[in-house]
Each structure stands twice: as C-alpha cells, then as structure tokens.
Structure 1
Amino acid sequence: MPVPLIDRIYEAAFVPEFWPSVLDDMAAMSGSVSGAVLVFSGIDQPPLYRTTDYTRASLHEFTTTERWRESRRAEALFKNIITGDFSSFQYLNDHMSAEQLAGDSVARSLRELGLEAQATTVIPLFSGEVVSFTFERRAGEGRHSAEALAMLDKTRPHLARSGLMAAKLRLERAEATVSALQAIGLPAAVLQKSGKVLATNILFDAAASLFLPRAFGRVALADAAAETLFRNAVEASAPHDRPVVRSIPVAASETTQACVVHILPLCRSAHDIFSSGDMLIAATAVGAHLQVPQASILTGLFDFSPAEVKLAIGLASGASVNDAAVQNGITVKTARTYLERLFAKTGTHRQSDLVALLKTASPLGF
C-alpha cells in the first residue's frame, strides 16, 4: 500500500533527503513538473533549499553564484507577506511589476528550463525565517487548475508544521533524539501514542506552567480548552486518522504567555530517529497585539483554510458575521458555518473570545 503523502511530508521535516520524492509526487498531483521548498533567513543571503531533479542544477547555480542577488522575487515575496497574499498558493508574478519581472533572475532561469507558471505559498516563522513552497508548470501549459490549487492548499497546514521543523533544523537530517530536540530551539518533547513522554529538551522542562505531568508519565496542557484539543490530537497520532486540530492555541494566563502547541506525527524514518516515538510536540509563543492579525500568520499558526482566514480577519477587524459575509462575497449561512469551524479549531465558544485569541497571533519566539 502506498505510504500516505501527509505521512511523508512530516517524515521529510526530519529526514530532508526525502523532500525531492515528496515534492515530485505533489507536483504530479497538481499538474506540475517540478517543486521546491526554500528557507529564507533574509533577503541578504541565498536560501537553503530542497528540490526535484528538474530544477536541482538551476537552484544550485542560483544559490552558489551571484544570481540570487539579481532576483527581484525575494523583495516582492517579503513585501507581500505583510498583506497575507501568500496564505494560500498564489502566483508571485501577479505581485511583481513589469520592471521587476524583466530584471528577475528567477524568471530568466524558469524560461531557460522551459517553465512558466509557478504557484507559491509563503509561511513566515516566529523566529524571522520564511519558508516557501513552489510548484512549476511547463511553458505553454498555462496555470494550475483551480482543483490543483485547492489540493495544494489542503496540504498547507501540514507543510507549515513540517516547514517549521525543517527551518529550525536548517534542512539537515535530525540525527538523534537528544541533539535533535536541542537543535529545534523550542520547548519540545517526544511522545508515544499513549501520551507517555519519552524525551524532552531543557526548554520543555522549563515550561512547567504550560505542560503538566500526569499519571503514567503522560503530559497535559494546563489550559482546559486547549487540553481537549491536545488530547484529541494525541489520540489521533497518525495524520490521516481523522481530521483533527494539530496546531492548538493556548490563551495567555498569569504565568504563561499565549502560544500555539504543534503536534507533528513521527512517521517512518523519523519514528526511528526519535527513539521510536510516535509524535513530537513543540510550542511557539505569540505576542499580544491590538492589530488585525496577518493572514499569513493565521495560516501558519492554525489549521485555517483560506476562506476561514478571510472570515477570521473580518471578525478581528470588528465586523459582524453579517458584514464579514458581505465583505467576502458569501452568504451569512456559509459565514456561520466557517465561524463554527473557527470555534472548533481554536477551542473557543464565543466570538469575543475568538477575536481576542486571533489578536495574539503575531510571530514571537520563546
């Protein structure tokens, strides 16, 4: 039986030599011929990357010569993170001027390879890095179908969690449990399916007000609403068991900063690297702000679909459900359906609580 794609996405986070085969399969499923994952630490240095065979030589040349300095894409990419234009798969060309495209070394490289339409999504991380996934089609084939983009968008929450680990490990292989947990640089622990803790790092041990010990070596979240979502995610340890929330918001308390706890299944080779553990949990902190949250941050922190993100931003801006529905061109009934999904994914039950939580969503490291 073929190994589910989502399992392989999580495996590649810790064993990055598997990214090319994962990207190849995602490319085939989306009508593309190539794909890549790139980790940017800033516009003043070339990105780290893993890619498929089709673009490997080109990306190697791009990152090891001065061609990366000639790219105008990073400039447009980082600028549009703020507006959240890439919280789903989009086309960067649509956000670049004719002048930028004319002088862009990436556009030139794509033309040299006989490629044209490039679908891109961007995942900004709390620590300042930006993870990007791209999928390219041959020149003359036109853009991806709406169905293909929807399929790619469906994988985005998994790509975001996997991208977080890939960036923290700098697209290097996790070699052993202890060193890998330290390298992640976040409060993190390895759990069995039963919830029993196998290993932790120093940052996890220091987060005693967030994680509570339970009988038989298990762990729980101190926040009651978050604990319900956390327990559901732990019990559904395989990513394809059933739809569950795997990025869980935890509200701020007197002793704990607002944060999001991520649950990453440890599949196949990653299972062996982490002492036969079944899942890794890691916490990323967020800061309390009064601004409207960015779409790209919401999709990076929570398992929101693009449509749910639009409604969430409308509500956080002060709009009623009816007004947000009008703004997004949907019916009030559909908006209420999205609102119920937002409640389920955040563990909230009232619109005021949801909005208060959403306004904590800005990147900030522990």
Structure 2
Amino acid sequence: MTSDLADRIYEAAFVPEMWRDVLEQLSSESNSAAASLVLFDDRAPPKFIATDLISPVLEAFDAANGWQKSEEVQLLFSMTPPSAFVYDADYFPAGALASNHLRLDRTRPLGIGGQIGSFIVMPTGEMALFSTERWRDNDRPSADDLARMNALRPHLARASLIAARLGLERAQGTVAAMERMGLPAAVLSSNGRVLATNPLLEAMPAMFLPVAFGSMAIGDVQADLLFQQAIAAVRSEIEPSVRSIPVPARQDRQSIIVHVLPLLRSAHDIFSGGDILIAATAVSASSMVPSPTLLAGLFDLTPAEARLAASLAQGRPLKEAAARSNITVKTGRTYLERIFAKTGTRQQSQLVALLKNVELPNRG
C-alpha cells in the first residue's frame, strides 16, 4: 500500500469521479479483476461506482432489482459484518453464493470467480460495501492480498462516511458541503486554525472548545490528546496512529466519534484552501454499528485487535478473550495496550463501557 492511494481515497470522498481510479488501484492491490463500491441507505435505493469490467454487471443487477432478490445481499444485513476484508466463500453459506444467478450468469463469462469484500456500517446508519472481483484462475486471495486491503480499510471507512452523506455527489464549496453532510463539522488549516464551522458543531460548545490562536480542542483530556496528535500529523505530513477519536459519554452528552480527514488535491480547492475536515458522528444504542466493526472500521484497529476487543466487550476476562482469539495472554496484553491507545481509554472497564454504547439493531 502506498500513502498516495490513501490520499486518493480521501480525495474521492469529496470528488466522487475519483472513485473509479481508487477502485482500479484497490483491484490492483488485491490482485483482482475489478472492484466496486456500493452505498446502502434506508432513505434511498443503493448507489454504486465500479471499474469498467464489473460496472455493466452491477447495472444489470440493479435493473433486475437484485438488491432485494439476492439471498447473498440479504445475508449482508442479517449476519454480523466481519471486521476485515474476507473471501466470500469463507463467509457466506455455499448455497447462497451458488444461488446468486443474477451475478453468476454475468460474471462467469467474464472469467470472474469469487469476491473479497468488506461491509462497513456507520454510526449514521449508512452502509458501504467495498468488494473486488477475483479472476477464476486466481480465485482464493492470499494472506498478503487481504492484509493490503485491511491496511486500507480505516481510510475507506472514513471516506465512505462522507461519500454516503454527500450521496456520491461532488462537494460544491465549503458551506454547501458542510450543510449537506448533516454532521457537526469544521474545516481547519494545517496548523489547526479553525477556518469554518457549521451550526451543528457550533451547538456543541462543551465538546468543541476554542483555544489560543484560533484553534480547537475537544472537551475530554484523553480524546483531545489523540485529536491534537492527529492534527500535528497532518501538519507534519506523516501518517497519524489514529484518525477517528472516541469521546466517551458524560451526564450532559452522549458518546461521539471525531473523524479527522485530510483535504487533499481537489478537495483542498473545494474547501477554499482548508487542509483538514473534522466531522463528528454520534454513538448510541440506535446506531447500526456492531462493536467489532465499529472498532476495526473507525478506530484503526487491526482485525486481530478488533476480535480481542469484541470478546472483552462481551464481559470475558483477558485470559479467556485471548484464548478465543487463539493468541497468548502476553500477546493479548500487547494488543490491549494498542487498543487503549487507539480508543483513548486507559482501563478495560472504560473500553467495555465504550463498546456497550453501541448495538446492532434488527433491520427487519
């Protein structure tokens, strides 16, 4: 994976015509034939962008109302989404894959076999499916193929959050884009100076605090430490360890996640020279995010760290959680320290409390 691809992913969040180039690169990264992004939203039909080879297949699938007819698609909504990219044959029942003729009848003549994909659910209710199509003669992905995709997954999660909010349409100027996102948001310069805020963020004065030199702080010590580190990393043009920062609930506020997105290339111009977009999403019992998926997709945890965190959230002691994850207790402690650092928590009880705020409701 190159930093250039991560940069392009963030650019595509605001300039959707860039997604095809990103998807071509994702296909190449995973040694696949094609790639696509599908956004699901209860308020509107699914929207999608795909590379040239698979785009006609998705268009035909859409025209045939495949989103409602396909057993495979319906399982996406009823099964707990994995916290990583997975090979479809390792996730779906064989019968569901074999019965998806709306897809198979169109992909087999192209020499396409299975898929690797990741289904990212977001606190705002939208869901994004990133998938790559495998050549039939190279169907099962290697561990390296999956590792490269999983390294990109947190970037894809944040970018798809914005893409879903904008409806896969190009952002049109700072004010319009921030209003359309419907999220508390601010645009910052590379040195952290606030250039613009929207009314939703201004209505949270206890959460987002003005500080010296026109900068911003978060009203939680541990979360603000991660936030300032993320801002400094953008200024230094290095990859921050965390770009999505959980802020725990208090009596006067619910939990939120603060996302730090770099504004690059065309996005930099759209936001009048701003360098960083800050967007906040609420975490509540009504969110459509299961704990392991929220952690892996938005808190930059690796799949192994997310599995351990999910076990801990179910009330298991570290020894038992490590055993269920097939790791030693010593490795579990190492993972737990990383999880603490990435989620802004310091104790296992704090981590569990954060995860217990999030449930996956039945979509009916």
Which TM-score band applies after superposition, normalised by the shorter structure? over 0.9
Q: Is the 8 A contact 1:71 1:103 kept in 2?
A: yes
Q: Distance in 1 between matches of 2:269 and 2:337?
A: 38
Report the AA paired with residue 50 of structure 1: I
Following TM superposition, by how much is the alpha carbon of 1:100 offset from its aligned partner in structure 2, in angstroms?
A: 5.8
- TM-score scaled by structure 1? 0.92
What residue number does 1:91 align with? Answer: 87
Query: How far apart are 1:45 and its partner, in Å?
Result: 6.6
What residue identity is the alignment partner of 2:147? A
Shift of the 47–113 alpha-carbon distance from structure 1 to 2, 3 Å rule, reads farther
Cα offset for 1:160?
0.4
Matching residue of 1:331: 328
Cα shift at 1:300: 3.0
Cα distance, 1:24 vs structure 2: 0.7
Distance 1:168 1:269, change over 3 A: same
Residue type of the partner of 1:122? F
Aligned residue number for residue 76 of structure 1: 75
Shift of 1:127: 2.8
Asked whether the equivalents of residues 12 and 19 of structure 1 are also in contact (C-alpha less than 8 Å), the reply is yes
Aligned to 1:356: 353
Which moves more between the two structures, 327-336 or 294-303?
294-303
Equivalent residue, structure 1, for 2:315: 318
- What's the counterpart of residue 54 of structure 1? 53
Q: Tell whether the 8 Å contact from 1:116 to 1:137 is kept in structure 2 after alignment.
A: yes
The correspondence of residues 156-305 of structure 1 with structure 2, limited to 5 A, is 156-237=153-234, 241-287=238-284, 294-305=291-302
Assess, with a 3 A threshold, how the Cα gap between structure 1 residues 9 and 353 changes in structure 2: closer, same or farther.
same
Mind listing any 5+ residue stretches in structure 1 that lack a counterpart?
Answer: none
Unpaired runs of 5+ residues, structure 2, are none
Amino acid at match of 2:38: L
* 1:63 corresponds to: 62
The DSSP-based 3-state class of the residue aligned with 2:345 is: coil
The answer to whether the 8 Å contact 1:89/1:121 transfers is yes
Q: Secondary structure of 2:145's match?
A: helix
Greater Cα offset, 241-250 or 56-65: 56-65
CA RMSD of aligned residues (A): 2.2
1:293 is displaced (CA, Å) by 5.0
Give the distance between the partners of 2:139 and 2:54, measured in 1 at CA.
Answer: 19
Residues 1:186 and 1:101: Cα distance change in structure 2 (over 3 Å): same
Change over 3 Å in CA distance of 1:296–1:3 after alignment to 2: closer
The answer to whether structure 1 residue 150 and structure 2 residue 147 are counterparts is yes
Aligned match of 1:109 in 99, 106, 111? 106
> Shift of residue 139 of structure 1?
1.4
Alpha-carbon distance change, 167 to 45 in structure 1, aligned in 2, over 3 angstroms: closer
Deviation at 1:212, TM superposition (A): 0.5
Distance 1:214 1:199 in 2: 15
User: In structure 2, what is the Cα distance between the partners aligned to 1:285 and 1:100?
Assistant: 35
1:195-214 residue CA offsets vs partner (Å, 9 max, x unmatched): 11111111011111110011
- C-alpha spacing 1:137/1:259, structure 2 compared with 1 (3 Å): same
Contact 1:72 1:101 in 2 (8 A): no
- In the TM superposition, residue 103 of structure 1 has moved relative to its aligned partner by 4.2
Residue of structure 2 in register with 1:135 after alignment: 132
Residues 297 and 362, structure 1, Cα contact 8 Å, conserved in 2? no
Distance change in 2, residues 1:227/1:67 (3 Å): closer
Q: CA 1:174–1:46 in 2, change beyond 3 Å: closer, same or farther? A: same
Q: Tell me what 2:22 maps to.
A: 22
Q: In 2, distance between residues paired with 1:310 and 1:115?
A: 31
1:286–1:363 Cα contact (<8 Å) kept: no
Structure-2 change in CA distance of 1:129 and 1:239 (3 Å): farther
Give the partner amino acid of 1:299.
Answer: A
Alignment correspondent of 1:35: 35
Please name the residue that 1:307 is paired with: 304
Is this contact kept in 2: 1:39–1:129, CA < 8 A?
yes
- CA deviations 1:192-242 (Å, max 9, x no partner) are 111111111110111111100112211110111100000000111179613
Q: Is the 8 A contact 1:76 1:96 kept in 2?
A: no
The amino acid across from 1:13 in the alignment is: A
Cα displacement (A) at 1:255: 2.1
Q: Which amino acid aligns with 2:20?
A: P
Greater shift, 88-97 or 313-322, is seen at 88-97
C-alpha separation in 2, matches of 1:135 and 1:13: 19
Between Structure 1 and Structure 2, how many residues are aligned?
Answer: 357
1:288 Cα deviation (Å)?
5.6
Query: Displacement, 1:353?
Result: 1.5
Q: Conserved in 2, the CA contact under 8 Å of 1:239 and 1:265? A: no
1:213–1:147 distance in 2 versus 1, CA, 3 Å:
same
Q: Compute the displacement of 1:141 (Å).
A: 1.7
CA contact (8 A) 1:72 1:105 kept: no
**Residue 259 of structure 1, CA deviation:** 0.7
Deviation at 1:185, TM superposition (A): 0.5
Q: Quick one: which amino acid aligns to residue 175 of structure 2?
A: V
Please state how far the C-alpha of 1:63 moved relative to its aligned partner: 2.0
